[in-house]
A and B are shown apart, each in its own frame.
Chain A
Amino acid sequence: GDSVTQMEGPVTLSEEAFLTINCTYTATGYPSLFWYVQYPGEGLQLLLKATKADDKGSNKGFEATYRKETTSFHLEKGSVQVSDSAVYFCGLSSNTGKLIFGQGTTLQVKP
């Protein structure tokens, strides 16, 4: 079945450091790919998305490119801030309409 694998956390960075959170997927067909962010005690917010191969999703300085050849959708940001501290979930929308999530990666940014 469809699945999503994320790099394990927690990831601890200093402010202004470069961020990469790896995400790979297994799916039949051509899923849409998403990154969601969850701040403590809150629900999930859509961070960015890509619906087809080679699409690049971007928002708030974060980027991810849909790579079909490597089945990846890695999240990157050039300069993280303390306010970026949260849990990040990679997900895909399967052909059943369900969202399949990775296990989540906790990011902690220190001043």
Chain B
Amino acid sequence: GAVVSQHPSRVICKSGTSVKIECRSLDFQATTMFWYRQFPKQSLMLMATSNEGSKATYEQGVEKDKFLINHASLTLSTLTVTSAHPEDSSFYICSARDLRTGAYEQYFGPGTRLTVT
């Protein structure tokens, strides 16, 4: 149980375009989802926390107008990178947590590799 999927797994886009990444909890309801960014050989950097039905909370230094997060249902959150630039190229990972179970662990998706040309 506790499977999280991401789509797409890899995406290449041109500079100036927007890209949407989906994160789904497949077998549980995720009251909270998290979006991380990971640079090569580095740790995960938390970008934002989203709770179902409310606005996302962004970490300091993360541009909310550039990284749009929508957590429209208990099983789906989306991250849209708007007007992407080469410096946005990175590995984006989502995680999900079901607060109602009282569990503290987060379940991670397999990640999405974004390359902006």
Partner-B contacts on A (CB < 8 A): 32, 34, 36, 41-46, 49, 51, 89, 93, 97-99, 101-104, 106
Least CB separation from B106: chain A residue? A99
Interface-forming stretch among B14-22, B71-79, B80-88, B108-116?
Answer: B108-116
Contact residues of A: prevailing secondary structure: strand
Least CB separation from A49: chain B residue? B105
Q: Given contacts A89-B44, A104-B42, are A44 and B104 in contact (CB under 8 A)?
A: no
Partner-A contacts on B (CB < 8 A): 4, 6, 32, 34, 41-44, 46, 49, 93, 95, 97, 99, 104-111, 113
Kindly identify which residue among A42, A46, A106 contacts B105, using a CB–CB cutoff of 8 Å: A46
Q: What residues of chain B lie closer than 8 Å to A45, measured between beta carbons? A: 108
Quick check: B93 and A44 within 8 Å, CB to CB? Answer: yes
Kindly identify which residue among B41, B42, B110 contacts A43, using a CB–CB cutoff of 8 Å: B110
Q: What residues of chain A lie closer than 8 Å to B105, measured between beta carbons? A: 32, 34, 46, 49, 93
Contact residues of B: prevailing secondary structure: strand
Quick check: A98 and B42 within 8 Å, CB to CB? Answer: no
Q: What residues of chain A lie closer than 8 Å to B108, measured between beta carbons? A: 36, 43-46
Quick check: B34 and A98 within 8 Å, CB to CB? Answer: yes
Quick check: A98 and B46 within 8 Å, CB to CB? Answer: yes
Q: What residues of chain A lie closer than 8 Å to B42, measured between beta carbons? A: 103-104
CB distance from B5 to the nearest CB of A (A): 10
CB distance from B69 to the nearest CB of A (A): 15
Q: Which 9 A-B pairs have the closest CB atoms?
A: A32-B104, A44-B108, A43-B108, A93-B104, A43-B110, A43-B111, A103-B43, A101-B43, A104-B43
Query: For A43, A51, A93, which residue has the most chain B Cβ atoms within 10 angstroms?
Result: A43
CB distance from B43 to the nearest CB of A (A): 5
Quick check: A51 and B104 within 8 Å, CB to CB? Answer: yes
Quick check: B34 and A46 within 8 Å, CB to CB? Answer: no
Cα–Cα distance between A36 and B99 once the two chains are bound (Å): 20
